[in-house]
Amino acid sequence: MPDQNFPFAELLTRRNSTRRFLDRPLPEGMLAGLLALARRAPSGANLQPGEFIALEGDARARLSAALVEAFRAGRQEPEDYSYFPQPLPQSLRRRQVAAAKELYGALQTGRDDRAGRDRQFERNFNFFDAPAALLVTIDARMGSGCYMDLGMCLYGLMLAAAAQGLGSCAIGALASYPGLIRSTLGLGGEHHIVCGIALGYADPEAAENTVRTERLKPEEFFRTLR
């Protein structure tokens, strides 16, 4: 698998959430190679939690159709794990709103354009039409710390993809429909639905791919005790 040889600091800063992709398939074997690299992430007791399921053909089409239908109908399901704090503190809410403003601003979709925002959000369930679509699950018996280990593996996958000139997007919206996903794909209750991953070559002309959300400065999250 060829290496683009980006300096590590550049690799970290150039990675962003890609929400529109070129119609260009990944080279044969690249996805497996990226996953093998991602599995080098730290893992407590080397449990290596989480499973990655590539969705192709009929399976992908059936799942996307079911998710879009549920979203349009306003259906809600209990999630397998708590993603956001409830209630969301105002300080975090401001970050959430700022991120949405960046995305929808790039798309020139106003706050009052509910239909336009829904159309964009619905694209989550089609994996943003990426050439590679992954479903990420975790054994339901795993402890909460294993989600941390899986998160490091996910970030490793996204960085490995960026090193090969690929774009990626983690799709947390899939976690909102765990029962639907399990029934559509024939997965048992032992699988908790974590997220989806869209992977492929980013469309360089897409406005949504120019979005870079602001990150906290070290003085906002780092301190020293003596």
For residue 113, give its domain range: 16-214
Q: What is the pLDDT of residue 189?
A: 94
In a domain, 223, yes or no: no
122-134, pLDDT tens digit by residue?
999 999 999 999 9
In a domain, 148, yes or no: yes
Q: Is 224 among the domain residues?
A: no
pLDDT tens digits for 31-74? 999 999 999 999 999 999 999 999 999 999 999 999 999 999 99
Contact between 98 and 215 under an 8 Å Cβ cutoff? The reply is no
Inter-axis angle of helices 57-73 and 178-185, to 10 degrees? Answer: 150
100 inside domain: yes
Average pLDDT value over all residues in the chain: 95
Give residue 5's pLDDT.
Answer: 64
pLDDT category of residue 83 using cuts at 50, 70 and 90: confident
Spatial CA neighbour of 37 closest among 139, 128, 162, 145:
162
- 138, pLDDT greater than 90: yes
Query: What's the average model confidence in pLDDT over 27-31?
Result: 97
Spatial distance between the Cα atoms of 200 and 128, rounded to a whole number of angstroms: 10
Percent of the chain with pLDDT over 90: 93
Task: Tally the domains of the chain.
Answer: 1
- Label residue 7 by pLDDT band (50, 70, 90): confident
pTM: 0.94
CATH of the domain at 190: 3.40.109.10
Q: Is residue 52 part of a domain?
A: yes
Per DSSP, the three-state class of 133 is: strand
Give me the mean pLDDT over the 117-146 stretch: 97
Task: Find the angle CA(208)-CA(154)-CA(178) to the nearest 5 degrees.
Answer: 85
- Which residue type occupies 176? S
Inside any domain, residue 65: yes
How many CB atoms lie under 10 A from the CB of residue 145?
12
99 lies in a domain?
yes
Closest CA to 159 of 48, 9, 1: 9
How far apart are the C-alpha atoms of 71 and 62, rounded to whole Å? 14
- DSSP per-residue string spanning 6-38: --HHHHHHH--B---B-S-PPPTTHHHHHHHHH
1 domain residue, yes or no: no
